[in-house]
A and B are shown apart, each in its own frame.
Chain A
Amino acid sequence: MSEFQKDIERIKNPENIRAALYASGPTTLMRAFERDPTVIRLVRGGSKVIPLISAEISKNGLKLDAITLCCFAYVLQKTDAVAAATVLRPLFVQAMRNPDPFFVYFAAHVLRQDLKLPFKPDDPQYTLGELHETLAWVERTKKTEQRG
């Protein structure tokens, strides 16, 4: 098992991101990721990490803990924003059927950057209206791609 794979396994238990357990919202959670050594190591892993996280998301999807999913979204976005959007798009659509106070915001943060919708790099907190706007744009883009 590679060191990055070990880090991913570690992130799958959100208690290993100590400060994440004090977060009351997605922006506070982002601050926890910014200073967590495991997360920092994964972000530095760059392109080597993307397939590992993508595989984990494909395998377990929304069965993963919401904080773990947020962390994966954060690492992917920091590493390759376009690849992050590709991986997270179907998961966001699925998650919006039963939204939660963390993951849908991180996923929307990635997708809004990709869709060139207004977004603040340091703040993944959106209104419910913005979440639904993101969903509408994702679905519209999907239809366009299907037609094209």
Chain B
Amino acid sequence: MPDTLITGFFSAAGTPLEIWQRDPGVVPDPDPKTCEYIHFDLSVENLGHTKRYNCWGFTFLPRRYWLSRTAVDTLLQDNCDPVPDGSVQVGDIIRYRDYTNTTQHTGRVWQTDGSGHATWIRSKWGPSGEYIHAPLDVPSIYGTNLAYFRQKAPLRGDAAETNKIAELWIKDSPTDNGEQGVRAPWWTSPDILVDAFPFDGAPDVNPVFDHPNRVWAVVHNRTNQRVDNVYVRFYWADPAAGLAPSSWNPIPSSPGHPNPVGPISINGYSNAETDYVEWTPTASPAHQCLLAIAHINDNPQDSNNPDPIVYPFEIPWDSNIAQRNVHVMPLENGSNGELSINIGNPSLKAKEVTGSINAVLTFSPSLPLIGFPRDIRPLMVSISLNKTPGAPLKSWDKIQKIEGRFIPDNLYHGERAIAGLTLRKLTFLPKKPHRLGVKITVPRDALKGSVYYLHIAQTVFGMVTGGYTVVVVVV
């Protein structure tokens, strides 16, 4: 296949971008650090060596095309803001320049330390493979002059065309702005909706068991071009923080309500609601988790897919994917509530990983406009691991810093941290999840209408790899 220049792609400022369609052939990459793609059926594909996309194509039009450096310098200027080292977030762009101050390479920040410095990068090395590597563990031709950027706008297409470029997005949390690397709690999607039996067409806070529930999603399109043939695939899982791709179960299709739902069309800068699937949870745990994946197809080699899935099952990484692990518990003053969740191995392949569990209790006044009361009455929360005696959360004043990036600044608007707990150095094994028991007592003098959030997050290698949020409403 000859190299072909393709047109119709623009920066946010409307500058045409120089983009090449090249030989899409793939040669398997024997390098053990090469990246893989996990299909919906959980089969794993070696992304291999390919001329189809280069580092710049990986960064800005993932896995579709080979971009010219002129396009990248334009995009860094028009679609991105510089980020100082020390404020770097997962999903930010790293730019490599050489001794002539010429851009030679880009990638995405895959992991940071607790101080806003990149520790791992994901990038494509020319026509060679896609790798996860330390920032300076790259071919020397890329240079050592590093800078970081945060993408603030997607690429644009020709508004007269359709299906050439799209940016599908299901919100990961109420504060998600659509960019990669959304921070915790990314398991609290407001765009995955449940209408519990009996149906009234309006979303409910919790599903009901042993009855059908209607589950649907709102899907946004962040670019200016209409996209057709969008499908959304729905999954459920037992209540857990730290879910491997294999932990997710597709919701079975029912007559007239197939899963995946679709196809739907979404206009540019617009959103659409999907049809619903019927989900009848029957398992005993009090609440279950939901996952939605918006997609056009499941082929990572399809250059014509206007918005390929790049990181399947990587919820915070891919704007097409969202998770809803939210359990709302209405409790009266002086009453107790209990629940248990699993904390499993989030990896499909790793035999064991080591990490920690962070719990943060926050308070939100029922009417944020009136501000916080002077004396917040904290819930009494204790957490037990694998039936050991429960440990109470400590007051937030005693916890100045929680391990990893799960800090309350990242939470919902209007929340204030009041207590927390960290369980460190836990080993997570496949199919042998830890059982986390949570006991909640509402003080007798708690204000009615107050809302408390208990965010439970799993952290592995400094990254939040899963979470579960319990919302306690004092009634």
Contacts and interface: CB of A to CB of B under 8 A. Distances in A.
Interface string A23-45: 11101100110010000000000
A6 to B, nearest CB: 24
User: By DSSP majority rule, is chain A's interface helix, strand, loop, or mixed?
Assistant: loop
A91 to B, nearest CB: 16
Contact of A128 (B18, B124, B139): B18
B70 interface: yes
B98 A24 contact: no
A27 B54 contact: no
Interface magnitude class on chain A = 20 to 34
Interface in B89-146: 98, 100, 102, 104-105, 124-128, 139-143
B69 A24 contact: yes
B55 interface: yes
A19 B18 contact: no
Interface size class of B (residues with CB under 8 A): 20 to 34
A127 interface: yes
Contacts of A24: 54-56, 66, 69, 104-105, 124, 126
Contact of A99 (B5, B69, B102, B105): B5
Contacts of B102: 27, 122-123, 125
Given A22-B126, A25-B69, A99-B3, A31 B20 contact: no
A60 interface: no
Contacts of B98: 31
Contacts of A31: 98, 104, 141, 143
A101 B98 CA distance: 20
B368 interface: no
B2 interface: yes
A21 interface: yes
B141 A32 contact: yes
Contact of A101 (B3, B100, B104, B125): B3
A27 B97 CA distance: 11
Nearest to B143: A31
Interface in A84-139: 98-101, 122-123, 125, 127-128
Given A35-B140, A99-B5, A122 B18 contact: no
A27 B98 CA distance: 10
Nearest to B69: A25
Given A24-B56, A27-B104, A101 B68 contact: yes
Nearest to A100: B3
Contacts of A22: 125-126, 128, 139, 141-142
A35 to B, nearest CB: 7
Interface centre among A24, A27, A123, A125, by most chain B C-beta atoms within 10 angstroms, is A24
A70 to B, nearest CB: 13
Nearest to A122: B100
Given A23-B126, A127-B18, A127-B70, A28 B141 contact: yes
B70 A125 contact: yes
Contacts of A123: 100, 102
Interface string B7-48: 000000000001010100000000000000000000000000
Given A99-B5, A125-B69, A125-B70, A23 B18 contact: no
A27 B126 CA distance: 12
Interface in B64-87: 66, 68-70
A37 to B, nearest CB: 14
A100 B70 CA distance: 15
Contacts of B2: 98, 100
A101 B21 CA distance: 10
Nearest to A66: B3
A28 B140 contact: no
Contact of A21 (B66, B104, B127): B127
Contacts of B143: 31
A28 B104 CA distance: 6
Contacts of A100: 2-3, 20
A75 to B, nearest CB: 17
Contacts of B56: 24-25
Contacts of A21: 125-128
A30 B2 CA distance: 23
B92 to A, nearest CB: 19
A19 B20 contact: no
B100 A23 contact: no
Nearest to A103: B3
B5 A128 contact: yes
A25 B141 contact: no
Contacts of B66: 24, 101
Q: Which of B3, B68, B105, B141 has the most CB of A within 10 A?
A: B141
Chain A to chain B: the 9 pairs with minimum beta-carbon distance, closest first: A24-B54, A31-B141, A22-B139, A100-B3, A22-B125, A22-B126, A25-B69, A122-B100, A23-B126
Interface of B: 2-3, 5, 18, 20, 22, 54-56, 66, 68-70, 98, 100, 102, 104-105, 124-128, 139-143
29 contacts: A19-B139, A19-B141, A21-B125, A21-B127, A21-B128, A22-B126, A22-B139, A22-B142, A23-B126, A24-B54, A24-B66, A24-B126, A25-B69, A25-B104, A27-B102, A27-B104, A28-B104, A28-B126, A28-B141, A31-B141, A31-B143, A32-B141, A35-B140, A100-B3, A101-B68, A122-B102, A125-B68, A125-B69, A127-B70
Given A28-B142, A35-B140, A101-B20, 8 more contacts: A22-B126, A25-B54, A28-B141, A31-B98, A98-B3, A101-B22, A122-B102, A128-B18
